[in-house]
Amino acid sequence: MSAIVELHGLTKRFGTFTALDGISLAVERGEFLTVLGASGSGKTTTLRLIAGFDLATDGRILIEGADVASLPPFKRPVNTVFQQYALFPHMSVRENVGYGLRMQRVPHREIGPRVTEALEMVQLGPFAERAPRQLSGGQQQRVALARAIVNRPRVLLLDEPLGALDLKLRRAMQLELKELQSKLGITFIYVTHDQEEALTMSDRVALMRGGRIEQLGPPRELYDRPRSRYVADFIGETNLLPAVADDRDPGVVTVAGPAGPIPIRAEVRADGVRASVPLWLSVRPESLAVVAAAASPASGGDAGNSLPATVRDIVYAGSVVKLHLALADGTTIVALRSPSDPAFASGASVHVRWPASQGVLVAD
Amino acid sequence: MTGTPVRATLVDRVRTNRRVKTLVASAIPVTWVVVLLLVPYALLLIQSFWRLRNGTLTHELTTENYRRLFSTPLYPATILYSAGVALRVTVISLVLAFPVAYVLAFKVRKHKTLLYMAVIIPLWVSYVVRAYAWKIILGQQGILNGLLMSMGIIRAPLTVLLYSTAAVVLALTHIYTPFTLMPIYAVLDAIPPALKEASQDLYANRWRTFIHVILPLSLPGVVAGCTFAFVLSMGDFLAPQLLGGNDSALMVSNLVWSLFGVAYNWPLGAAVSVVMLALTLMLLWVAGKVEARGSYGGEARSSVTEYAAPV
Amino acid sequence: MPRRSDPLTAGLWLTATGVFAFIYAPLAIVILYSLHDSSIIAWPLKLGTLRWYGVLAHDTSMLAAAWASVKLAVLAVIIALAVGVPGAFVLDRYDFPGKGAFRRLVMLPLILPGIITGVALLSFFSFVGLSLSSGFPLIPGWPVVLGHGAALTSVVMTQVYARLQRFDRALEEASGDLYANEWQTFWRVTLPSIRPAVLGAALLVFTLSLDEIAVTFFLIGRQNTLPLQLWGLLRRGITPEVNAAATVIFAVSLLTIVLWSRMMRDQN
């Protein structure tokens, strides 16, 4: 598989503000790549540079090996699905979808069937003659999608297309988009701030922060092996316990306990972890087991880790019960239990346990 | 507040009775508008059917005013002439206004509001001043002639500049171009930048984006601007009087002026006014229809559609 | 959108600047010639005197006309606000039979040539028997005052109505929830919120009234307003004093409009 889009040292500055700081990225042909990040992280800027709506300050953009930096949008073989859909209000759905084909001077008799085909693909066949304002948000979004894919672009750029939809609709559309992408085989570059969306849909995720790529890899990798505290915190829910490295044993760190530091085995370490920097142990709530303090010995026993804690809050969330626990130093952590497990009372003393392989040591 | 039993008083019941509230609230404005707008315009209409007997106004009903209006060549000719002037003014001011509106809406980043204000301000500055300015510029001893002569372009002063239709058209264009610009700018400015980007994303270059996206979306503003420019220049009386010369460039409003003034024929003047009123209303109605058809359910609604809208 | 300099954009800018110059050149000429050192307005321009302003300052009939214009404008503003603001509320909040017709009627003076409104009002006052000179000694005359009010109420109504449409009713509901009655809510919540629009409309009415000719001509009594005075001068023959007067009017209008735009900006 070859790279269909390559970014080399791409930089974008607006006056004194650096939106993109020399990022490099290779997008594989046919993959679903999500560029994830908070607002201001540079994800939308990246997309706009690839599409051609803004010009890079420095660096190169290659699409299928060709340098497109000096090409205007209408000469690039990519299409965009806009956040607010950007449907032309003075044209019908059919005219909207056929716009790109008309501009490419596709023969007239070919346009009709292709438009119909694209509309069928997004299940909007009967709406061809409507005006955009007569459609719901979800329908408009699908028109925007059809309008882009009808041109059979090499790469499809999607700028937070599901942001304006409500939760249920968004979940449904996520699945539809993923299916569509597999069926058509088009490379998708998808921008979002919703990490759950990124995890669900992507082949790879590029998490951006402050104009740089914090981590790039399959969703599993970002979740299980975060490379920094930022990634651990951004992706999914996690507990971050301040930890201090033990000089004597590299596999051990200490975490504050009620009567002094408690040794914790940490087998997985991210890059950048050194004794000299602040460290955190990232443990996902689902990895924690909670037992009553009275019922078990203080140590972890089977090479697992154990910490004493007090139950603060019990939150019922349908499929799980979330236990909010306070550690000796006041840090709050969250553990998950099934609703059918015996319940704990608020204020109960417990031990939280997890296997050494489940915690990741991270630095900033 | 708490603990005391809650009871509805008469005032409360009036408050919640929507119909009574409507009555009370709308009493003053509606009465005012009816008395000082509806009645005068209606009176004008009625007056156009009154007879003038020996120079005295009577309340006898007759259609002779309208008969005279349509049979005497002067009146239809003047109306047509005024429409012709208005048409020329409208076209020229559209040609002038559109580029400025476009530049302001799309090409200016900083000080956009300031520049827009700068273009609009002349509209509110004394109308007399602006019409008069052309008088001193275009006159035989005027500034333009003086300038051209001192530059050696002409030997003798041009007499055709002032007291001609051209002068009237020029002055009216000068006065109404900002007027045409306002709605066009408003509509252009309201076009989301994403639409331009989407068009380019779909392989349309800048010119084609303009033709297929920007221009159609600008139409409501264009229609509104042109309609107002047309209606107002057709009904203008100051410019023709100052710059038009004694008889050659008389427009409809000058006729009404003299009929209500020196010529003292109020019923006839009223008839001419009614015809003007009817023409104006018809124009607005047509403009509203044109706009509605062209926008395909688009969002921009200018004042013309507001005016012609059903509610 | 990356900005590229190219012939098309350059051409656009050139045209725009040209039109701009076209709009301002005549005004600039009037202002320059108010400083013209000769009693004949002709080319070339000889800058360097303020005497025409002096002549203006001593022209008692012009000053009287100016004063009458100001009084008239103030009265017009008062009437327009008193009728227009409630009218805007009625349009925004209530439905009644004939509302559509009412709305169109209100907009007529803005759209019709002023002369039609002028002769309509003249016919009305003549029919009703209200003499053009009637009124208190200080007031220019009832017909012209009422006429300006009638013609300019529409300005206030449309401006305030537009603002009301954007007003968040939840604020009023919150006020009611906190035990304020309608009057208190209006005074303390609604009015402050729409104040910039009201003041802006008032300024606009003031300027338009100062400049009004068509309606004024037919309804005025013995005392001229400023534009009519100017116009009379123009018909008799032009002296540079007119340029000075025109410049002063321009400056005052400019000031008013700058104030108005400040007000509009505050609102946003």
Q: What is the pLDDT of residue A232?
A: 93
DSSP of C49-78, one letter per residue?
A: --HHHHHHHH-HHHHHHHHHHHHHHHHHHH
User: B114 to chain C, minimum CA–CA distance in Å?
Assistant: 9
Question: Does the pLDDT value for residue B311 go beyond 60?
Answer: no
The Cα–Cα gap between A311 and A317 comes to: 17
Nearest residue to B70 via CA among B271, B251, B264, B280: B271
Per-residue pLDDT band at B195 (split at 50, 70, 90): very high
Q: Which residues make up the CATH 2.40.50.140 domain(s) of chain A?
A: 249-363
C-beta atoms of B217 and A131 within 8 A? no
- Among A41-50, C50-59, C102-111, the range of highest mean pLDDT: A41-50
Q: Per mean pLDDT, which range of A233-237, B80-84, B178-182, C220-224 is the poorest?
A: C220-224
Token pair 């630095």 is found at: A363
Could you tell me which residue, A292 or B13, shows the higher pLDDT? A292
**Average pLDDT value for residue range A303-330:** 88
Among A320-329, B1-10, B170-179, B243-252, which is the least confidently predicted range?
Answer: B1-10
Task: Give residue-wise pLDDT tens across range A55-82.
Answer: 999 999 999 999 998 899 999 999 999 9
Nearest partner of B199 among A147, C28, C102, judged by Cα: A147
Asked if pLDDT for residue B268 goes beyond 70, the answer is: yes
Task: Name the pLDDT band for C102 (thresholds 50, 70, 90).
Answer: confident
Residue A73: closest CA among chain C residues belongs to which residue?
Answer: C1
pLDDT of residue B35: 87
Interchain CB contact of A301 with C (< 8 Å): no
pLDDT at residue C6, as a whole number: 76
ipTM more than 0.85? Answer: no
Smallest CA–CA distance, residue B217 to chain C, in Å, is 19
Overall domain count for chain C: 1
Q: Could B197 and A131 be called an inter-chain contact, meaning their C-beta atoms sit closer than 8 Å? A: no
Question: How would you label A72-101 residue by residue, b for 16+ Cβ within 10 Å and e otherwise?
Answer: bbbebbbbbbbbbbbbbbbbbbbbbbbbbb
**Structural domain of C92:** 59-267
CA distance A73 to chain C (A): 9
CATH number at residue C91: 1.10.3720.10
pLDDT at A264 over 90: no
Q: Is the pLDDT of residue C52 over 90?
A: no
Contact B216 A86 (CB under 8 A): no
Q: Please state the CATH superfamily assignment of the domain spanning residues A3-229 in this structure.
A: P-loop containing nucleotide triphosphate hydrolases (3.40.50.300)
| Dihedral angle of Cα A297, A300, A303, A304, to the nearest 10 degrees | 150
Helix (H, G, I), strand (E, B) or coil at C48: coil
Q: Do C16 and B103 touch (CB under 8 A)?
A: yes
Lowest-pLDDT range of A293-307, B38-52, B199-213, C79-93: A293-307
Instruction: Give the pTM.
Output: 0.84
Q: Is pLDDT at B296 greater than 60 in this prediction?
A: no
**Inter-chain CB proximity A55 and C2 less than 8 Å:** yes
C8 touches chain A (CB under 8 A): no
**Amino acid (1-letter code) at residue B173:** T
Domain range A249-363, CATH architecture: Beta Barrel (2.40)
In a domain? residue C23: no
How is residue C39 written in tokens?
């009693």
Chains that touch C (3 or more CB pairs under 8 A): A, B
A53 contacts C1? CB cut-off 8 A: yes
Query: What is the pLDDT at residue B2?
Result: 64
Is B193 in contact with B226 (CB distance < 8 Å)?
A: no
Q: What's the whole-number average pLDDT of chain A?
A: 90
Say which of C19, C87, C253 has its CB closest to residue B99: C19
Instruction: Tell me whether residues B237 and C249 touch, CB distance under 8 A.
Output: no
Residue B173 — very low, low, confident or very high, per pLDDT cuts 50/70/90? very high
Residues of B in contact with A92 (CB under 8 A): 296
In three state form, how does the secondary structure of A83-126 look?
Answer: CCCCCCCCCCHHHHHHHHHHHCCCCHHHHHHHHHHHHHHCCCHH
Conformational region of residue C179, where left means phi above 0, alpha means psi within -120 to 50, and beta covers everything else: left
Task: Write down the pLDDT at residue A124.
Answer: 93
Lowest mean pLDDT among A69-73, A356-360, B36-40, C46-50: C46-50
Q: Residue B3: what pLDDT?
A: 66
Contacts of C42 in chain B (CB under 8 A): 141-143, 146
Distance of CA A15 to the CA centre of its chain: 29
Tell me if C14 is assigned to some domain.
no
CB pairs under 8 A between B and C: 253
Pick the CATH number of B63-308 from 3.40.50.1980, 1.10.3720.10, 1.10.10.10, 1.10.20.60: 1.10.3720.10
Model confidence at C4, pLDDT cuts 50, 70, 90, reads low
Residue given tokens 């709530």 in the structure block: A285
Domain annotation covers residue C52: no
pLDDT for position C2: 47
Burial grade of B269 (CB within 10 A; 0-12, 13-18, 19 or more): buried
User: Which chain A residues are within 8 Å of C2, Cβ to Cβ?
Assistant: 52-55, 72
Chain B neighbors of A99, CB-CB under 8 A: 199, 202, 204, 212
Instruction: Choose the weakest-confidence range: A121-130, A149-158, A168-177, A244-253.
Output: A244-253
Q: Give A47 to chain C, closest Cα distance, Å.
A: 13
Question: By the 8 A CB rule, do A51 and B201 touch?
Answer: yes
Predicted local confidence at residue B298, as pLDDT: 46
pLDDT score at A63: 94
- CB proximity list for C242: less than 8 A, separation 6 or greater: B132, C230, C233, C234
* Residue C254 belongs to some domain of the structure: yes
B197–A80 CB contact, under 8 Å? yes
Asked which of A89-98, A117-126, A305-314, C235-244 is least confident by mean pLDDT, the reply is: C235-244
For B132-156, how does the pLDDT look when each residue is reduced to its tens digit (9 = 90+)?
888 888 877 777 877 777 787 777 7
Q: Do C153 and B32 touch (CB under 8 A)?
A: yes
Closest approach of B99 to chain A, Cα-based (Å): 22
Nearest CA in chain C to B285: C104
Q: What is the mean pLDDT of residues B263-279?
A: 90
Q: Does the beta-carbon distance from B307 to C104 stay under 8 Å?
A: yes
pLDDT of residue C128: 84
Determine contact: A57 vs chain C, CB below 8 A: no
Q: Which amino acid is at B221?
A: G
What's the pLDDT at B301?
47
B205 vs B127 pLDDT, higher one:
B205
What are the tens digits of pLDDT across the range C124-179? 988 888 777 666 666 677 888 888 998 899 889 988 988 888 888 888 888 888 88
Q: Please report the pLDDT score of residue C1 as a whole number.
A: 43
Q: Give the C-alpha separation, A289 to A353, whole Å.
A: 5
More confident residue, A175 or A328: A175
Question: Confidence band (pLDDT; 50, 70, 90) for C266?
Answer: low
Q: For residue B138, what pLDDT is reported?
A: 83
Residue contacts between A and B (CB atoms, under 8 Å): 78
Cβ–Cβ of B99/C104 closer than 8 Å?
A: no
- Mean pLDDT score across all residues of chain C: 83
* Chain A touching partners, 3 or more CB pairs below 8 A: B, C
**C-alpha–C-alpha distance, residues C171 and C229, integer Å:** 49
* Interface contact C3, partner A, CB < 8 A: no
Under 8 Å between Cβ of A79 and B283: no
Greatest mean pLDDT among A13-27, A269-283, B240-254, C103-117 = A13-27
Mean confidence (pLDDT) of chain B? 83
Q: Is the peptide bond before C44 cis (omega within 30 degrees of 0)?
A: yes
Query: Which residues pair with residue A155 across a beta bridge?
Result: A78, A187
CA–CA min distance A52, chain C (Å): 8
Burial of B258 (C-beta count, 10 Å sphere; 0-12/13-18/19+): middle
The per-residue pLDDT for B310 is 41
